[in-house]
Chains A and B, each alone.
Chain A
């Protein structure tokens, strides 16, 4: 048994404790946006947020989580595709086949929190997810566009308050 807080909801899951979080999310909770790519934390397709930290869910058993840890999957990132990363991805048509993009988006969203105005070196460091279609350059542009849009929004909000 495991109790997991996923996208703001507590789930009681009847699985073996060594079941990876990925398979609990996909097969027990039924959220399939988080993808299986390698099972060995090498490709990043399974990336979710655990208390805001990008985490490769294929290689961590459910037994290592408590219900106090807030797990967010791609389905919980925003209600209507409104996260700045999702918006930038839409604007630049980043995805090709799209299979890796849930993981890329989750990694990018966490990157923006850590580095609101990321440099190329920081993007290289944090974005280690694999894409076989080769969308890397658009992902880089998307991260920068999202950062720019988020900054503009912030300064607008400040200006309105002032």
Chain B
């Protein structure tokens, strides 16, 4: 393999390595992947300091998913580094611009933190090791082939001499980077693939980790904001006479014509004063939108003539017409909010010469692209410093509206740093929501109970149409069909059905959609996996066997399904009153399956007793972090199933905070038995995939328990008592 060597010595010396006289190696290895509207590239840097510290520079961000530790493990593995001296560091998007995007894409989404980086990071580590060895060989005057490396030490066995990496770093930095780099076979890993503790745990235990919301600067002011409650609305007028007299208040202003901002010495004073501002809104065209009107819009799409085709095989119409048995059902998935624990916020400082922003973002380049037009300055004069994220889940990659607002406010107060914090109420009512869709499924069974035809008509909102219309493909949003595609490494439909049609009638309500952990896989997996269950019951067959019959050509899908069936004891007796449900799905390059065990009381109270989950993500870099992501994805996915819904009335989101938008808590969290079953040979994602199977496994188990097919989310709205 060849490493593109567009290395600039000046670039090397500009960084921390220059200050410490160490080695830094940079590569640009673009990796193209089939993706939802984007093709990520990754770049990174390896720095070896004289004190033997290895600094891994990464473009991706840590938001809880363990990516930094995993990436560091991969570098350390190839570098044969001393793991106890490995640290990580973020480059800024401004540095990326200055160095002609040497780090590539900064986006941290789509479960790509590891799989979109492993290639670069491993080659980077391996190349650095070769250069360090060559420098040692030169110094010791021995052939490089006689040297071995371990724990950041290079040893010449024959003469008993050894050198630490830090001792030869300066010399190594002067060498040409190797053209060909061999990386290890994962079966030989000793650092990667191991359940090592995270690098970033300790500072999360004593309050010392600084999140974006905690950032402080000398002379900094704080801002609170209230944006139009109706999308498309404007500020008609406002009376700030009272607020302006309140203690600590420095400024009251309108930005973008649709939001009122109060700037004060402290955030609490800004917020209190903002509450005292009397705002009259021009509500605009969307003031009559409601959950019911959105549902009517989507329902119309279920039978509409025009629809974008996502997956087509055979002649589904004829198959359905000739079916021995026809099964039909309509499902719905509502708007959901991300509910990151840290509300949106950003600190900005603007002068005519420079605009700096400190914020938590999943895509610092997109944040920078937001700063530039808001600041009115050229990109060279702008930069974004990445702060720790109190949760991302897609919100901090979908829109940097909060960054734009912070810059607009700071621009009104040149030189003064301003921290804009969204109140939880502003945050919940101005999300980039999980899109709402409905799905009508029509299945055709033959006389032996085989599925001979399936039509999935999805009707509802497109994320790309709302966020990046330029990424639509002839009007079509390919992401709508996540997990339902005929082929491809991202998310393949896992059943052989001779006549199949998956199509999408795009219906876009005015509320801004966003990428939400799992994205369209969440509802697609519910639609398909619950309906497969419906068809199994209509055919009088066991849901597991019914699936297996259609999965012979999908061995990886089948393998994870078999794993959970075996581990959960599918077909074996359960405790009295406890019933099982099963589901499988593929997305973000990984194969996942789950069995849920539930009971439903006579009063309709649901208890989830146990989750058994398997994932085949190809290679596992840190098993304990994979387990953590599996556990976490069930908390997120089941929370959505049990409680998640944003409802709309008079053009406004009705929920405003955790008291009205409930989420799952400790008492409801089931034990999760996680089984990473990496089959090797590919790299799949981990942060999202298992969320797909959480809801359908539970819904299918509820049917087993009650005979009731629940086709709407969330369950808090439904009567779960036995049919």
Contact = CB atoms under 8 A, between A and B. Distances in A.
Given A19-B268, A27-B266, A99 B342 contact: yes
A157 interface: no
Contacts of A94: 201
Given A43-B341, A99-B390, A128 B206 contact: no
A117 B395 CA distance: 39
A20 B268 contact: yes
Interface stretch (B58-66, B117-125, B298-306): B58-66
Main secondary structure of the interface of A (DSSP, over half): loop
A35 B341 CA distance: 9
Contacts of B635: 131-136
B204 interface: yes
A40 B296 CA distance: 34
A10 interface: no
B517 to A, nearest CB: 9
Interface in A8-63: 16, 19-20, 23, 26-28, 30-40, 42-43, 45
Interface string B205-237: 111111101101000001000000000000000
Contacts of A124: 666-667
A135 B391 CA distance: 12
B206 A95 contact: no
A140 B666 contact: yes
Contacts of B272: 16
Nearest to B197: A93
A77 B659 contact: no
A155 interface: no
A139 interface: yes
A27 B672 CA distance: 39
Given A37-B658, A38-B657, A134-B634, A75 B198 contact: no
B207 A42 contact: no
B321 to A, nearest CB: 46
Given A134-B632, A137-B671, A37 B341 contact: yes
Contacts, number: 175
Interface residues of B, number: 62
A98 to B, nearest CB: 3
Contacts of B665: 127-130, 136
A132 B657 contact: no
Contact of A132 (B207, B209, B663, B671): B663
A103 B707 CA distance: 41
A97 B206 CA distance: 14
B624 A133 contact: no
Contacts of A6: none
B205 A89 contact: yes
A138 B206 CA distance: 18
B703 interface: no
Interface in B57-77: 63-66
B290 interface: no
B205 A81 contact: yes
Interface in B256-288: 266-269, 272
Contact of B341 (A19, A34, A99, A123): A99
Interface in B464-505: none
Contact of A32 (B214, B391, B663): B214
Given A16-B247, A27-B267, A132-B341, A95 B666 contact: no
A26 B215 CA distance: 11
B704 to A, nearest CB: 24
Contact of A33 (B208, B269, B424): B208
Most buried by B among A20, A73, A130, A139: A130
Most buried by B among A97, A133, A135: A97
Most buried by B among A43, A77, A133: A133
Interface in A111-156: 123-125, 127-140
The 8 nearest A-B residue pairs measured at CB: A33-B207, A134-B635, A99-B390, A98-B204, A97-B64, A96-B64, A134-B632, A124-B667
Given A81-B206, A124-B667, A136-B635, 19 more contacts: A16-B247, A27-B268, A36-B424, A38-B658, A38-B659, A40-B424, A40-B659, A45-B341, A81-B202, A95-B205, A99-B211, A99-B342, A123-B666, A125-B667, A131-B635, A132-B391, A135-B632, A136-B631, A136-B666
